[in-house]
Chain A
Amino acid sequence: MEATSHAFKDNVRRAIVDPGLQKALGMMKTGFQARRLAAIEKLPEFEQLRDVGRDIKNHVLENLDFYLERFERKVTEAGGHVHWCRTAEEARETILGLCRKACAKTVTKGKSMIAEEIALNDFLEEKGIEPVETDLGEYIIQLRREPPSHIIAPAVHLNKEDVIAAFHKSHTHLDPGRPMDDPHMLLDEARAVLRPKFLAADVGITGANFMIAETGSTIIVTNEGNGDLTQILPKMHIVLASLEKLVPTFEDAATILRLLARSATGQEFSVYTTVSTGPRRPGDLDGPEEFHVVLLDNGRTDILGTEFQDMLRCIRCAACLNHCPVYATVGGHAYGWVYPGPMGAVLTPTLIGIEAAGHLPNASTFCGRCESVCPMRIPLPKMMRHWREHEFERHLAPMAVRSGLALWAWLAKRPGLYRAVTGLAARVLGLLGRAHGRYGWLPLASGWTGGRDFPAPEGRTFMSQWRRRSGG
C-alpha cells in the first residue's frame, strides 16, 4: 500500500472529526481491555509466562541462523519447500511463480499482516489472479478496497452500517431487499458467499504465527476457521512468514500461545490453533498436495543487533494497540501504513524509513501502557525514544520544536540565568493572568490554548520564595 505516514497530522485531523470512526473506536476501547484483564486474572502464572516468552524469543534471535537452517531442513524432510526472500518484491515474485505453477485463477487467503506488508493482493490482481480474503474482517475491507486498521481486527474502524453498505454493493446476485440489520445475517451472508470460493480456490495462502524449528511446522491461530479451509481445500498451501516467527519447539510455542490469545482478544485460547507440517501424506483423504513456506526477511535482519532488536519479539497480538490512548483517538488508518499503534510506531520506520514515518514514534505521550501489557515485554516507549534520537541527530525534527527545546536546555544548564528568566516569566504571566486565573489564548501556545485554557502561574517562583524564607 501507498504509505501516508508522512501526512499523519492530516490523517489525524480527518479521523478526529469522522463520526463513524469515532463511534467504532468508542466501541473497541473498553471491550478488548476488559476481556484481557479478565483472562489474565484467571491465570496466576501470566506474569511469569511473559518472562519465559521473552527469553524464548531472545534465545531464538541470538541463534536465528541456526534455527532457520534447521527449520528449512525439517520442512524439506516433511515434503515441503522453503523459499528464502530478502525483499517484498522477491516474495511477491516467488508467490506468483508458485501460483502460476498451480495454474491458479483464484487464491484464498487467511489473514496475514505480512501479505499486507508486501501488498500481495494488488500484485496478484495485476497479474490476473483473484485473491479472496476469507477472514470476515479482511473480506469486508477487501470489498471496500481499503487497508486494515488493526492487526487482529482489520475492520474495527467500521460499523454495522458500513458492512451492510459494502455487502449491498458487492453481493449483487442477492435480493437487494433482503433483511440485513442483524449482524448474524451479515455473517451468514459472508459465509454463504465465501464457501464456494473456498471450494474452488487453486491455492491457499496463510500467514504463520509460529514456525517450529524442531519439526518444520507452521502454526496459525484463528477464530473463524477460515485459515483452515484456506489450507486444506486447495491443492497448494503457501505459508508466508517473516523469519522472526521462529521458535525452537512445540513446548516453546505453547508457552507463547498461552500469552497470545489472552493478550489479543482476551480469550483463554483461540478457537483454532493449527499446526501444519508438509503436504498431504500417503493415505490422507484431504489436505494440500504441495506445501511451501515463503520466508521473508524484508528488513528484519537490519533490525537484528540494533537497539530495535527487541521489536523482533513481537507476536502481533495487538495488546499495545488495544491499550493505546492515541490509537483509541485516531484509529489505525491515521498511522498511514500496515502496522498502526505503538508496535507500528516502532516497526514502520524500520520498514519504510524514518523520513517517511517520523511522526509515528513522536505521536506518543510515553504513557507506557503499551509496554505494561506487551506479553513479550517489548520496551516500546524506549524504542520510540530511540527513533526520536535518530531524528534529532539527523535534524529531522520540526524546527520550532528543535529551537524551543534547545533554548530550554540552554537555560536549564545555566541556573542563575534560568532563575532570572523563570522568575520574570512567572511574575508577568502571574500578573496578567491574576484576574481570571488562566489564559484562553497565549502567543506561541495556540496548540495548547486551541482547546484548553492555560492556568496562570501563581506569580513568584518557588525558588525565589524559598530563598526569602530561608533568608538566603
Chain B
Amino acid sequence: MSDARSQILGSIRRALRRDALPADKAAALEARLGDPQPNLIPARARGGAEAVVELFVQMAGNVQTTFSRVKSPRDVPGAVAEYLAGQNLPAAFAMAPDPELDAVPWAERPTLSIRRGRTEGTDQVSVTGAFAAVAETGTLMLTSGPSHPSTLNFLPETHIVVLPAGKVVGAYEDAWARLRAARDGTLPRTVNFVTGPSRTGDIEQRILMGAHGPRRLHVVLIEG
C-alpha cells in the first residue's frame, strides 16, 4: 500500500508540475490549519443571545422539531412526562449518563421509568443532552462520549434533547469553536449535527418522516 501511496502523491505532484511543497509553503498551510478562521458567515447567524435562541426555535420548528420551553431544570421532568403522555408514549426512556441530566430532579416524577446507558434498539424513547445548538438552521450538535452514547440519537423512535438556552449559538463555526475550546485538541469520536427528525424522499419525492432514525425529535429548552 505504501507503494500506492507514493504513486498517488507522485502523480499529484506531476499533475501540479512541482515537487513536494517547499518548507515555507507547507508552514503557511500548517499555520492555516493551526488557526482555523471562519469564512463568510451568513448575517442571519450573527444575532445576539436572545435572537439566536428565537431563530433556533423557529428554524428547528420549520423542520418538525418540537419544543417544550421551561424556566429551570426543575421543570424538565414535568415537561418530559407531559410530552410523552401527549404522544401516547410510555413514561419510560433510556437516558444518557450525563452529569447535567443527573442534576435534573427526575425523582420528583416517580412515574417516569429511567434507564441510564446506551440503547440496543429496544427503547422507544431516549433522553440526551446536547453539546450546543446552531440557530442558523435549527441544528443540534451532539458529541459522543461516555456521557452521550450515540446510539441514543438514532435507534429510539423518539429522541428528547434537554437543552439549556445558553448552549444555542448562531453559526456552525461558533459551535465548533466552543468544541475546540472545550477539548484538549482531540475530537470526540462522533459529532452529530441533527436538524429535525429522520426523513426520506425516496418514494415519489414525498417527504416521509422516520426513515431509520427517530420519527420525533423533541427539545426541552431551559430558558432560566
Direct contact of A and B (CB under 8 A): yes
Are B202 and A140 in contact (CB-based, < 8 A)? yes
Are A285 and B118 in contact (CB-based, < 8 A)? yes
Which of these, A64, A184, A257, A284, contacts B144 with CB under 8 Å? A284
Are B39 and A84 in contact (CB-based, < 8 A)? no
- Distance in Å: Cβ of B200 to nearest Cβ of chain A: 5
List the A side residues contacting B206 at CB < 8 Å: 183
232-272 of chain A: CB within 8 A of chain B: 232-233, 243, 248-252, 254-255, 257-258, 265, 267-272
120-143 of chain B: CB within 8 A of chain A: 120-121, 136-139
List the A side residues contacting B11 at CB < 8 Å: 297, 301-302, 304
83-120 of chain B: CB within 8 A of chain A: 97, 117-118, 120
Instruction: Indicate if B191 sits at the interface (CB-CB under 8 A).
Output: yes
List the B side residues contacting A273 at CB < 8 Å: 139, 192-193, 195
Instruction: Indicate if A62 sits at the interface (CB-CB under 8 A).
Output: yes
Are B212 and A194 in contact (CB-based, < 8 A)? yes
**B-contact bits for A171-198, CB 8 A (1 contact / 0 none):** 0000000000001101100010011001
Are B8 and A251 in contact (CB-based, < 8 A)? no
- Roughly how many angstroms separate A228 CA and B213 CA in the complex, as a whole number? 9
List the A side residues contacting B176 at CB < 8 Å: 250-251, 254
162-205 of chain B: CB within 8 A of chain A: 171-173, 176, 186-205
Are A249 and B36 in contact (CB-based, < 8 A)? yes
List the A side residues contacting B197 at CB < 8 Å: 271
List the B side residues contacting A249 at CB < 8 Å: 32-33, 36
- Roughly how many angstroms separate A328 CA and B23 CA in the complex, as a whole number? 50
Stretch from A118-126, A129-137, A333-341, A424-432 that touches the partner: A129-137
The range of chain B's interface size is 35 or more
Instruction: Indicate if A217 sits at the interface (CB-CB under 8 A).
Output: yes
Are A271 and B196 in contact (CB-based, < 8 A)? yes
Instruction: Indicate if A279 sits at the interface (CB-CB under 8 A).
Output: yes
- Roughly how many angstroms separate A160 CA and B204 CA in the complex, as a whole number? 6
Residue of B nearest to A51 (CB): B40
- Roughly how many angstroms separate A48 CA and B39 CA in the complex, as a whole number? 11
For B13, B120, B194, the residue with the greatest tally of chain A CB atoms inside 10 Å of its CB is B194
Which of these, A62, A94, A252, A269, contacts B195 with CB under 8 Å? A269
Are A286 and B191 in contact (CB-based, < 8 A)? no
Which of these, B9, B40, B213, contacts A69 with CB under 8 Å? B9
Q: A86-B7, A228-B150, A287-B189 are in contact. List 14 more A-B contacts (CB 8 A).
A: A45-B40, A49-B40, A62-B16, A187-B200, A191-B210, A213-B33, A223-B199, A225-B214, A226-B212, A254-B173, A269-B137, A271-B213, A304-B11, A304-B15
What are 11 inter-chain pairs, A to B, with CB distance below 8 A?
Answer: A68-B9, A187-B203, A187-B210, A228-B150, A228-B192, A251-B37, A272-B198, A273-B193, A274-B192, A284-B145, A286-B151
Chain A interface residues (CB < 8 Å from chain B) = 24, 27-28, 31, 43-45, 48-49, 52, 56, 62-70, 78, 83-86, 90, 94, 134-137, 140, 153-156, 159-160, 163, 183-184, 186-187, 191, 194-195, 198-199, 213-215, 217, 223-226, 228-229, 231-233, 243, 248-252, 254-255, 257-258, 265, 267-281, 283-287, 295, 297, 301-302, 304-306
